[in-house]
A and B are shown apart, each in its own frame.
Chain A
């Protein structure tokens, strides 16, 4: 903790705490914001993100629902039709699947179907990704399913400050936002002042987390710390890596990504989601279409294997780690330069 931070009374906060604060502040500011989901009341959610909300705002604003994800999202659609701003919690990535029909056939299309007369200002919070030692169905990276559905925004924070800022933006958005919370970063901490939270520049803007000149690592959510660590390690090898945190998969910030790749000439996309049909394929295609003449090497992907999510004792072999990222960087045809 820096001296300045101590002077200002800033304490380390976890991502879960920042998310909790974002919900509290949104609910306090706007009476139309309602939280609903499984165990979001007395328990405060299985990750404690809704801790204390029922005490502060009552059961009408923070509601423990029956255990049925399609019902939760379906009733949230009706609440949004009547002008509320529901914030739905799906307990785990894989438990959100029963709600997909509501999501794809209604949430994502209602604005378009009604020519804008019936927008869907709702937020769907989904804890996602692995690395927490979870048993089957608790560690999926489901972002590609959401990305493939027009009408949804797909957002994922990687830092404590972004967790607050992006969730506030998501709740304030007049469009439905699938808000993917990286489970293994819930307890990651940073110095963060809840009284003067940093604003984010709206949904759809990536952040350059590390400036570099040799190559660009493009990542988001749970893989950002991996990429930051890889960039530090790469410096020892003489590679000065730039790290771009997408923050939002939809809308996709092509401008920031392409500007970076045009500068560095090399790109590696890193995510936990499967490589085949995963977000990296779309990003690589866009880079190739738009930055082809700036590229010194093919765009590479470091992704989860194309397998069902492994059991906890084997997940470390599946998840993209620092070594795998560095191996990819090493394959970016550096010899051609000399």
Chain B
């Protein structure tokens, strides 16, 4: 006779009834990316907003072109272009209020520029005269983040800290489809949901992590579906439909601001250029695929809508293009000047107070610079300090 068969010896107690802690259904993204342009919903859109978005897109496209050209001219060390993704970049910047914070990745200089940052300062990292070319507090833009997804927990911590202080601040963090595989993506979303932090996570699914397509990145139904596992809503949106991205992000920012917690937004878009100028996209994708996406261009989509609504006066187009050219010319002129460099800066900000070791090393470099300047006054780089 087994133990279980012995009369009265052991009676298993049924476990407490189990049910999900929350209903997952409202968190699920739509089956199709949300679209506004070309749908009935577009009719209700504010003309002023559409024209504002249009101006940003035109300037943004020109900015990407100019930055790419500066790379070819050797003025930038590298440029990860957001050409084709301008709708996401612009909408992210415009969905935020003045007091909010933006957490960009290295591909998101356009979002920073659209938020008001000087393009030269935005490109400092990529020119290579310093790492961050701006004071993050000035426009509330965190340093451009190169290690993937690591800026996401920063956004969560900052938003959480602001809420602890009673401040009305939302953080919007940007990441790519490849970044969603990183552990920090997971940890950031988990912390944000547990803390109900006022954060919006914007994933720009541009199809590739350098050369690796999304199918090799994830087996999830969509990246937006990942939200459900953290207990936050996931939204799927057409990343080339600027009106849709703007609406979805604005809703998510409002939801966060009102105490509703974080949202994960997946914007489906396409990286029209290679990963950077150093990449060769023809090795891993076909021209035909790129052409398909060219037919779904964010600027063309908006122009079509504006034309149908008779909002796109030729003078508007001309004015926006002219503004974009002025911006590009100004950027070109300023980037064609050599940035001031002071090698002694290498030691200035490592610590609040320089250590004895760094003082010694700074003295060594200063002596080297002075000796070089004495030998050849033309190389008097930073030796004056």
Contact = CB atoms under 8 A, between A and B. Distances in A.
B350 interface: yes
Contacts of B165: 82
B66 interface: no
A90 to B, nearest CB: 14
A101 B130 contact: no
A118 B143 contact: yes
A113 B194 CA distance: 30
A78 B351 contact: no
Nearest to A36: B157
A335 B152 CA distance: 62
Contacts of B153: 70-71, 73-75, 77-78, 102
Contact of A78 (B132, B154, B190, B348): B154
B132 A71 contact: no
Interface in B164-193: 164-165, 171, 183-184, 187-188, 190-191
Interface in B85-144: 130-132, 135-137, 142-143
Given A60-B164, A78-B155, A114 B351 contact: no
Contacts of B150: 74, 101-102, 105-106
A81 interface: yes
B349 A111 contact: yes
B160 interface: yes
Size bin of chain B's contact surface: 35 or more
A114 B138 CA distance: 12
Interface residues of A, number: 48
B171 to A, nearest CB: 8
A68 B195 CA distance: 14
Given A82-B158, A105-B147, A175 B351 contact: yes
B190 A77 contact: no
Contact of A82 (B161, B184, B190): B161
B136 A81 contact: yes
Which of B137, B183, B350: most chain A CB closer than 10 A? B350
Contacts of B187: 66, 68, 70-71, 74
Nearest to B189: A71
Contacts of B73: none
Contact of A66 (B155, B191, B356): B191
Contacts of B152: 74
Interface in A71-115: 71, 73-84, 86, 98, 101-102, 105-106, 109-115
Nearest to B159: A78
B356 to A, nearest CB: 6
Interface in B338-381: 345, 348-352, 355-357
A81 B154 contact: yes
Nearest to A150: B350
B264 to A, nearest CB: 16
B56 to A, nearest CB: 26
Which of A80, A106, A119: most chain B CB closer than 10 A? A106
Interface in A51-79: 60, 65-66, 68, 70-71, 73-79
A204 B352 CA distance: 13
A66 B186 CA distance: 12
Contacts of B188: 71, 74-75
Nearest to A152: B351
B306 to A, nearest CB: 39
Contacts of B228: none
A251 interface: yes
A151 B154 CA distance: 18
Contacts of A119: 352
A74 B154 contact: yes
A34 B160 CA distance: 12
Contacts of B194: 66
A105 B149 CA distance: 12
B162 interface: yes
B158 A78 contact: yes
A158 B136 CA distance: 39
Nearest to B147: A105
B350 A112 contact: yes
Contact of A112 (B135, B154, B349): B349
A116 B348 contact: yes
A114 B191 contact: no
Contacts of A70: 153, 183-184, 187
Which of B143, B147, B187: most chain A CB closer than 10 A? B187
B324 interface: no
Interface string A303-319: 00000000000000000
Interface in A101-148: 101-102, 105-106, 109-119
A179 interface: no
Nearest to A78: B157
A82 B156 CA distance: 11
Contacts of A80: 157
B154 A83 contact: no
A149 to B, nearest CB: 11
A174 interface: yes
Nearest to A251: B355
Given A112-B350, A151-B350, A175-B352, A74 B147 contact: no
A75 B350 contact: no
A313 to B, nearest CB: 34
A106 B153 CA distance: 11
A110 B183 contact: no
A191 interface: no
A107 to B, nearest CB: 11
Given A71-B188, A111-B349, 20 more contacts: A74-B150, A74-B184, A78-B158, A79-B160, A81-B154, A81-B157, A83-B161, A84-B161, A84-B164, A86-B157, A98-B183, A113-B143, A114-B135, A114-B349, A117-B132, A173-B352, A204-B355, A251-B355, A252-B357, A254-B356
Interface of B: 130-132, 135-137, 142-143, 147, 150, 152-162, 164-165, 171, 183-184, 187-188, 190-191, 194, 345, 348-352, 355-357
23 contacts: A66-B187, A71-B187, A71-B190, A74-B157, A74-B187, A75-B154, A78-B159, A78-B171, A79-B160, A79-B161, A81-B157, A82-B158, A98-B183, A102-B150, A102-B153, A111-B350, A112-B350, A115-B130, A115-B349, A119-B352, A204-B355, A251-B355, A251-B356
Interface of A: 34, 60, 65-66, 68, 70-71, 73-84, 86, 98, 101-102, 105-106, 109-119, 150-151, 153, 173-175, 204, 250-252, 254-255
**9 cross-chain pairs, A with B, having the tightest CB-CB distances, nearest first:** A78-B157, A74-B153, A71-B187, A75-B157, A78-B158, A82-B161, A78-B154, A113-B131, A251-B355
